[in-house]
Structure 1
Amino acid sequence: MTKKESNLAVIETNLLQVLSHLIEQSKHQVAIQTNSTLTLLFWQVGNRINQDILQNKRAEYGKQIVSTVSALLENKYGKNFEIKNLRRMLQFAEQFNDFQIVVPMARQL
């Protein structure tokens, strides 16, 4: 291998390392943004069900409504909206009932 070829190999290796680092950083940022967005979505889903359907009460009919909503959402959007997850969303929205608190918290997760 000539000196020129050797220098080119080093440059290519360094470039590959730099590019790999940039790609990995971007992938990490995408994951952070996705987690934050999903956290806010799940809070909003729980909050809307609490306010609009259950009216912040736990009536017996509410269990049936939550089950029905869960089945419809799960059918359309997948397992994230199965009943146990929907109940967690409801609990999350109950525990942190101020959206202004949830937003910075979601960014930190």
Structure 2
Amino acid sequence: MQPITKQITWVYTEDIAPCVRFYRDVLGFEVERDAGSAMIFITTAGARIGVCETFEGRVVAPEGGMITLLVDGVAAVDAWHARLVAAKVDVQGAPSHMPRFGLYSFFCRDPNGYVLEVQCFLD
């Protein structure tokens, strides 16, 4: 069996332009592929976020899902929080410790309401 080389998490939108501004310009993710109505953004070596305009049953449905972005250390979480607050992103409160899971994180929403968590592990 061939190994998996990359992973893409897809989210959907009615209008791709605000998503491009969010993922490329605010988060700073490089565009790997631009198909006009769909774009793939590089988050790290083997992981991607894809944004696609809705079609044939693919709808904007952020309920129950979340994209977690891992960073190295509390200071990095705090820096990302400051960056997103300054960019007027829909940030869902300040970073906090979650002892139950051994992590420190905060949450925000992309232009379509998809939840993103920026976190670091504390152990």
Task: Answer yes or no: same fold by TM over 0.5.
Answer: no
- TM-score, normalisation: structure 2: 0.28
Identify the structure with bigger relative contact order (alpha carbons < 8 Å, sequence gap 6+): 1
- TM-score, normalisation: structure 1: 0.31
- Structure with higher helix content: 1
